[in-house]
Amino acid sequence: MTATVSYDEVEVGQEIPAAEYRVRRVNLVMYAGASGDFNPIHWNERFAKAVGLPDVIAHGMYTMAQGGRFVTDWAGDPAAVVDYGVRFSSMVVVPDDDEGATITVSGVVEEKLDDKRVVVGLTARADDAKVLSRARAVVQLA
């Protein structure tokens, strides 16, 4: 259980370079199956529009998982993420085409805690809308 990032080498304000994650309809179908969340707003355009949504939207948890992937890739060990929370502030609309949508995640070290832990604040955007807010992870560094 060892992160590859050293606590002593991290500074408050340090930015973690942005990464882009593509989401297409097939990813939502896979996520529905893996998570057990078969809410039709995530795969059925007819249903999504009938309940007032612009189109099929990604599972919030799919977007949250991309933020988690961003942090675990940075930390070097998935088990280093000891606390991770988000608010879903906007929907990720996923059109039925080959492009899908793109979620762009970036991060900044906001605080250094005791026990070699740091708080990483995350920003996630899709189509210029902020899709996660108050997104923060507490990461156990080496």
Partner 1 sequence: MALNRDFVGRTYASSAPYEVSRVKIREFAAAIGDANPIYRDKEAARAAGHPDVVAPPTFPIVFSLQGGSEALVDPDLGLNIAMVVHGEQRFEYTRPVHAGDELVTRSTITDIRSAGRNELMTIRSEVTTVSGEPVCTTYNTIVERGGAA
State how far the Cα of 12 lies from the Cα of 136, in Å rounded to an integer.
Answer: 14
Query: At which residue do the structure tokens 């939207």 appear?
Result: 57
Contacting range for partner 1; rule: CB under 8 A; set: 6-14, 82-90, 107-115, 117-125: 82-90
Give the angle 81-4-83 at the CA atoms, nearest 5°.
10
Among 86, 93, 94, 126, binds partner 1 (CB under 8 A): 86
Closest separation in Å from C-beta 111 to partner 1 = 17
Q: Is residue 64 involved in binding partner 1 (CB under 8 A)? A: yes
Q: Is residue 122 involved in binding partner 1 (CB under 8 A)? A: no
**Which token pair is 49?**
């529009």
Q: What residues contact residue 56 under an 8 Å CB cut-off, 6+ apart?
A: 25, 28, 41, 42, 43, 44, 45, 48, 93, 94, 95, 96
Q: Is residue 102 involved in binding partner 1 (CB under 8 A)? A: no
Give the interface with partner 1 as residue ranges (CB under 8 A).
1-2, 21, 27, 30-31, 33-37, 39, 41, 51-52, 57, 59-62, 64-66, 68-69, 71-73, 77-79, 81-88, 91, 134, 137
